[in-house]
Structures are given as structure tokens and as C-alpha cells.
Chain A
Amino acid sequence: MGSSEQIDRVTDLRAWPGEFPVSHLYTMGIAGERFFRELKDNGRFLGSRCAACDHVYLPPSIFCPRCFAALDEWKEVGPQGTVRAVTTAHRGVDGTTLKTPETLALIQLDGADDLLTHRIKESEGLEIGARVAPVLKETPEREGSILDVRYFRAV
């Protein structure tokens, strides 16, 4: 009887199996809707600027979290940018080993003050400071998702 350390198989415990029976539909929001429509329809990245704080938000925001101003100055940023951090993942979302390691980077699109996370491919030995450009899906395949950007690669 007693502590779980003495039990090798969890099925030896009297337990009732359970799950959290919910899934979610996340709206993109007012600013997000505009960002993803622009990406889908025109293949462009939109930020929003707070003049008072001199900050270009990416993804854009309808308000400035620093000063609470309503933001309506939309500004095209990118598409090229600079790598600010880069890593190669060998473990995936469930902790198992990936068949093909995946390279991920924090990218500062030209004209934006914030960073965007995305995949990097076709870019051997990429380092901080490297210049990268997005590879987009073709227009008919784009659906207004961050995956409309297939990946970034070195230029």
C-alpha cells in the first residue's frame, strides 16, 4: 500500500481514466484579422505603430500595451528580416525524437520592433545576424494562417 514510487505500472492502481473534453476555436481578433488577411491576399506583413511610444508592434495590436493608446497607424514591415536567435530542435511537441531535426529562429522583420518566430530551411550554418526572407505558399493555397509562410531562408 502507499506511495506511487512502489508501483511500477500505473494500471495496478485503481484509477478512473479521464480527459478534458474540450477543443478550442481561437478568433484572430480585430488586429489579427487584419494581419492575416493582408498575408493571405497580398503576401505582406502588417505591423501597427504607437507614435507616442515610437514602437512598431508585430503582430499588430489595436492598442498600445505601454500607454493604452488606440492604434490605427498600420505599417508594412519585412518581408526580409534579421535573425536574432536560432536553434535546432531534435525533440518534438510530445517529447519524442524528430526524424528530421527542425531549425527555428526569432526574426526581426525590417521596420518592426518585435520578433517573429518561424521555421528556417535551406540555410546551412545560419547564425545570429543573418539576413532571411520568407517563402510563402502560392496565393490560392494561402488560408490566412501563420503557416501561409512555409519557412524563412537565408538570402
Chain B
Amino acid sequence: MRKVAVVGAGLTRFMRRAQETGPELAWLAASQALESCGLGLKDVDSVAIGTAPDAFDGVHMKGEYLAPGAGGWGRPVTRPYAGGGTGVLVPIHAWFNVASGLFDVCLVVAEEKMSTCHPHPQGAFVTIFDNILERPLEPNLIWIFALEMQRYMDTYGITKEEIALVSVKNKRNGLDHPSTHVAEEITVKDVMESEVMVSPVNRLDVSPVSDGAAAIVLVSEDVARRISDNPVWIDGIGWNLDTAYWTNRDLAYPSYVERAARMAYKMAGITEPRKQINVVEPYDPFSYKELHHLEGLLLCDKGQAAKITADGVTQRNGDMPVSPSGGLLGVGNPIAAAGLMKVAEIFWQLRGEAGRRQVPGQPKVGLAQAWGDLMQVGTVVVMRVD
């Protein structure tokens, strides 16, 4: 397998309702990513497109629909899919394109336009449940997160106030992100007093419904050395799927995230992740998920993520900055685009190009992770700069 580097990234604003079509959003991000590394569409050998359920955009064959805006016209195009985990699965898939030797330059584009879906994307989410056992109960997606959050809180004795600190941190971090539509300065009290959606999940524990697109450019080592002074290497990739029956697994601990992380760590030669990983972008569609994922990623002991958050370890200037971008809670959540935004953030952080979001200490190794399907898939990339 060949070495693979990220050399460019692009991102649209995240919005509640974009006027742009999906292909127009894809083009804005994709053309920006190419321009950022001095490449043109003519240099692109293959295209990987990531986008979550077709039902959001109301377009079947959404990969093909997005392809003209993603640079896919007349090129080998593929669309890997793992629900909410797609945003990090698509660069993993693109890695195959380049590492295999088949292609030297792969354009990676993720888009989501959830505002198309009416009355609410919950109508699309409902069909991920078991049609016979669960849909007759008319479940809302937040129900299962509320139940998982309770298993997590009860197992480790974690309070809602401790979990609310994640929303406070990420929404504040998001204030420094030009793409945000949900950043704000809030307090734990604000989170606790926001509308109860499905107890114990309050309004400010949840990321929004968003439109947006993200793109990165993956290249072979030869191309990276030729066109870039500071390529960011993809050192490790990992992904893992748990049972589709969410009632049959340990909801207090995401073991599928651990298995994905162990796969990526082994490949990247990471033996002590807490010491070797300098900056982390775990998937945070809900406040407790950032904590859940930090534990699954072996970046703290089980049940200890709330404590390191309270101790300030995960702040931008802490020992292990977590979601310095602001994450899904602080920037927005156009599903697949949000996952790829996290990969782009690690790219910018490792190059020292994150502007006001830059974490101190010249980080060398970073990790991005996404999660999804019926909360059973973990996708992980480990990145490094020389």
C-alpha cells in the first residue's frame, strides 16, 4: 500500500436553509478544496462522494445527482455509505483509491441538504427502526439517544450538568468558525433550562438540522511531495459495525468505536493514544456522544470523559483539545458534510492553519471520528504531519 496525504480542504457555510442545490453546494466546497492546493479538475483521477440517506434531499441516486458538482463528470465515481458515519467513511474509501495505486489524486466530497425534507428529517430517520417491532410505537430518533444517554449516565454515575459542559465548550469554540450557524456563548444553566425534547435530552444538548458541503483532496506520496510543503498523512484508518438491533448491545459503551480505533491505531503505530494523539475531533451530534466517543477511542478511562471535560483537559488550550472546530454542536450538522468537516479541521490544525481555532503546541497527530447508522457504526482516521 502507498502512503496517502491530504493536501487541500474546502467547506461551505453551514446553514439552516440553503438556497443552493446539492450539486451547487458540492461545487462550492470541491472547487475551494482544489484551489487551496493549486490543483484543477483536470488533475483529479477519481471522486469519492459521501452523503447520508437519499430521503433527506428527496433524490434517489444522490451520489450521481451530486457528481457534476463534485467533479465526477466523466470520472470513476463511488459513494460509500454508513449513515452518520459516512463523513469519515468517505475519506477512508478515498484512501483505498490512492493507497491501492489505482489513482494519484482523489477528490473527496460530502454534502447534505436536510432542509429539503418536510415536515422534518425525523420522517426519514423513522425508517431506520425495525418496521415490525419499533415503528408501530412511532419512535423519534431522539428517543433512542435519550435511552442510550440514560444507560451511560446510570452506568458511570454521570450527571446531566457534567454532560452539559460539552455543549458549553463546543458552542463557544464554534464562535471562531466561519462556517457556523449555531455557535453561542451559553452556560450549563442555559442547557439545563432549555426545552426538554426527550428526557434527559434538552434542546441545547442536540446539534441542529443543517445544509452544507465539505471537501478534501487526497493524493499519493509522489504528488504530495511535488505540490505541498506540508502534506498531512493519513496514518491509520478504522471502521466497525455493531449489531443492527440496538437493544442487543452495551449502550453504555461504544465497543464498535473501540474496535474501529484499535484498527486505526495499529495501522498508525499508535500504542499510547492518550500521549500520542494531540488533537481530537470526535462526533458530537449530542453532548453525551463526545464523552461516549472519547471513551470508545481509548482517550480516557470508561466513565471518565465527563471528569476530564470538567477539568478543562478538552478545552482548546487543554492537554488534549477536543472538538476545537466547535463540532456538530457548535458549527452545525449537515450529516456527511459534518463528519468530513472534522477531518478538514484536523488537516488545518496539524498545518497550523486553523486561525482563531488553532490549538497551541504545534500538534503532530490528530484523530477524526464519526458515528451513525442506527448508532452502530464507528469510523476513524488518524492523521499526522511531519
- Residue of B24, B42, B115 near A30 (CB, 8 A) is B24
The answer to whether A27 and B40 have CB atoms under 8 Å apart is: no
Given A65-B69, A65-B73, verify A24-B31 contact (CB < 8 Å): no
The answer to whether A29 and B20 have CB atoms under 8 Å apart is: yes
Q: Closest B residue to A63 by CB, please name it.
A: B27
The answer to whether B118 and A23 have CB atoms under 8 Å apart is: yes
Interface residues on A, range: 20 to 34
**Smallest beta-carbon distance B319→chain A, Å:** 42
30 contacts between A and B (CB under 8 A): A16-B132, A18-B135, A20-B123, A20-B124, A20-B127, A22-B58, A22-B119, A22-B123, A24-B116, A24-B117, A27-B20, A28-B21, A29-B20, A29-B21, A29-B23, A30-B19, A30-B20, A30-B21, A30-B24, A33-B19, A61-B68, A62-B24, A63-B24, A63-B31, A65-B73, A67-B41, A68-B27, A68-B31, A68-B40, A68-B41
Contact with B along A1-32 (1 / 0, CB 8 A): 00000000000000010101111111111111
Secondary structure dominating the interface of A: loop
Interface residues of A (CB under 8 A from B): 16, 18, 20-33, 61-63, 65-68, 70
Given A31-B24, A32-B21, A65-B69, verify A24-B41 contact (CB < 8 Å): no
Interface residues on B, range: 35 or more
B23 cross-chain contacts in A, Cβ below 8 A: 29
B126 within 8 A of A: yes
The answer to whether A22 and B73 have CB atoms under 8 Å apart is: no
**Smallest beta-carbon distance B63→chain A, Å:** 14
B96-126 residues with Cβ-Cβ distance < 8 A to A are 115-119, 121, 123-124, 126
- Residue of A22, A30, A65 near B68 (CB, 8 A) is A65
**Smallest beta-carbon distance A149→chain B, Å:** 21
B55 within 8 A of A: yes
Interface residues of B (CB under 8 A from A): 17-21, 23-24, 27, 30-31, 34, 40-42, 55, 57-58, 68-69, 71, 73-74, 115-119, 121, 123-124, 126-127, 131-132, 135-136
Q: Closest A residue to B118 by CB, please name it.
A: A23
Q: Closest A residue to B55 by CB, please name it.
A: A22
The 4 closest A-B pairs by CB, nearest first: A24-B58, A29-B21, A65-B68, A22-B123
**Smallest beta-carbon distance B264→chain A, Å:** 32
The answer to whether A22 and B124 have CB atoms under 8 Å apart is: yes
Complex Cα spacing A80 to B68, Å: 28
A23 cross-chain contacts in B, Cβ below 8 A: 118-119
Q: Closest B residue to A29 by CB, please name it.
A: B21
B69 cross-chain contacts in A, Cβ below 8 A: 63, 65
Residue among B21, B58, B119, B126 with most chain A CB within 10 A: B21
The answer to whether B24 and A24 have CB atoms under 8 Å apart is: no
A27 cross-chain contacts in B, Cβ below 8 A: 17-21, 116
